[in-house]
């Protein structure tokens, strides 16, 4: 007799923020290496990240976050690009074991009133391990840094 197999849902991270910029400005910031380098800093005492971007579907990116004592390398590939609306990319944190590396990030941008945009970040395909907490706190800091950098808040 065949027993049904259990499917374990991997946890996902969902975070949202309101930015006091248009969807066009916010979307452009996610495609610009100089902009990304200034707020891709999820921890205290981090220096601007080293960022390389080939912003097209199938194009690759690399982000090296520079911590006080260690660098944190991330790479990925752009999977979907809908200007000013949606961005989907793979996200690989190279310091995690290979089985835990490949994940996916989806950014959805929605107008949220006069000159404002709601950004919804979903990070899924995460393994059920410690990488979840690292990414949860990391994305929170990154989004807060982005708001401060783009909106002066």
pLDDT (tens digit per residue) in 41-88: 888 788 999 999 999 999 999 999 999 889 999 999 999 999 999 999
Model confidence at 151: pLDDT above 80: no
Kindly state whether residue 33 falls inside one of the protein's structural domains: yes
Residue 2 lies in a domain: no
The predicted-structure confidence for 88-103, as pLDDT tens digits, reads as follows 999 988 776 666 567 8
Residue 111 lies in a domain: yes
The domain that contains 45 carries what CATH number?
3.30.530.20
Among candidates 130, 128, 132, which has minimal Cα distance to 91? 132
- Greatest Cα pair distance, the chain, in angstroms, is 63
Q: Under a CB-based contact definition with an 8 Å cutoff, are residues 51 and 61 in contact?
A: yes
8 found inside a domain = no
> For position 10, what pLDDT does the model report?
61
Average pLDDT of span 147-151: 84
In a domain, residue 36? The reply is yes
Which helix (H) or strand (E) covers residue 103, if one does?
A: strand 102-111
- The answer as to whether 1 is a domain residue is no
Which strand (E) or helix (H) includes residue 133?
helix 131-151
Dihedral pair phi/psi, residue 78, rounded to 5° = -75, 125
Is residue 4, in this structure, part of any structural domain at all?
Answer: no
Cα 77 versus chain centre, distance: 12
Residue 6 lies in a domain: no
pTM above 0.75, yes or no: yes
Does 2 have pLDDT greater than 60?
Answer: no
Number of domains in the chain: 1
pLDDT in tens, 107-137: 999 999 899 999 999 999 887 666 788 888 8
Structural domain including 115 reads 13-151
Residue 7, pLDDT above cutoff 50? no
* Cβ(93)–Cβ(71) below 8 Å: no
């Amino acid at each position: 007799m065949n027993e049904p197999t259990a499917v374990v849902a991997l946890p996902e991270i969902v975070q949202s923020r309101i930015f006091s910029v248009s969807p066009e400005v916010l979307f452009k910031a996610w495609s610009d290496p100089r902009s990304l380098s200034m707020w891709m800093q999820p921890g205290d005492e981090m220096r601007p990240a080293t960022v390389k971007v080939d912003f097209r579907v199938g194009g690759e990116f690399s982000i090296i976050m520079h911590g006080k004592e260690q660098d944190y390398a991330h790479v990925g590939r752009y999977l979907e690009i809908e200007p000013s609306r949606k961005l989907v990319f793979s996200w690989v944190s190279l310091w995690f074991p290979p089985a835990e590396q490949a994940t996916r990030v989806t950014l959805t941008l929605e107008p949220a009133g006069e000159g404002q945009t709601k950004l919804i970040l979903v990070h899924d395909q995460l393994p059920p391990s410690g990488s979840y907490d690292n990414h949860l706190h990391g994305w929170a800091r990154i989004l807060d840094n982005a708001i401060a950098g783009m909106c002066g808040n």
